[in-house]
Amino acid sequence: MATTLAHLNTCAAEEFVCLVGPVFEHSPWIAAAVADARPFASREILHAAMCETVRAAAEGRRLSLIRAHPDLVGRAILTAESNREQAGAGLMQLTPEETALFDRYNSQYKARFGFPFVICARKNKKDAILRAFPERLAHTREEEIAAALDQIFQIATLRLADLIP
């Protein structure tokens, strides 16, 4: 549902959180944290404020944000946004072998890092995502937290652009 920056800047805080909250997967606390910083001069400044809120959050809160994301090709019920993003990356039309490979990579990744693999599906297709798993499995936990947050910020950029064309 598209809206305008002018509307977001003037609506009640509760409506702002309701509209902007889904930009970060199951994490409306980020929108709530920036609601009082309105008005925002641009979509980019709103995005920067939200990303800064995440960066300034305690590690546990950042990990909760990463853990709010579903496994790629997982069995979880997806948000409408995640469903569109995974479908656009070709993840809904996999062979049984590809599904098994995703399952194996997801399991290895979660066992190693304790959170799901996050990648901006709208900027990657199935083959690129499959290539990214082994590369990112070689990261340290700290490197991977940073990589996951970077991907989440990219996802948020695109979701915010959908919300505020």
Q: According to the model, what pLDDT value does residue 87 have?
A: 86
Q: According to the model, what pLDDT value does residue 33 have?
A: 98
d(CA 75, CA 71): 8
d(CA 39, CA 61): 25
Q: What tokens were used for 114?
A: 């304790």
Each residue of 121-138: pLDDT tens digit? 999 999 999 999 999 999
Q: What is the pTM of this model?
A: 0.94
Q: What tokens were used for 38?
A: 């309105």
Parse the chain into domains and list their residue ranges. 5-163
Q: According to the model, what pLDDT value does residue 57 have?
A: 98
Domain 5-163 homologous superfamily, CATH: Oxo-4-hydroxy-4-carboxy-5-ureidoimidazoline decarboxylase (1.10.3330.10)
Residue type, 125: K
Nearest to 129 by CA among 108, 98, 152, 157: 98
Q: According to the model, what pLDDT value does residue 11 have?
A: 98
Known catalytic residue at 69: yes
For the chain, list residues with pLDDT below 70.
none
The catalytically annotated residue of 7, 26, 69, 139 is 69
Contacts of 159 (CB under 8 A, 6+ apart): 22, 23, 81
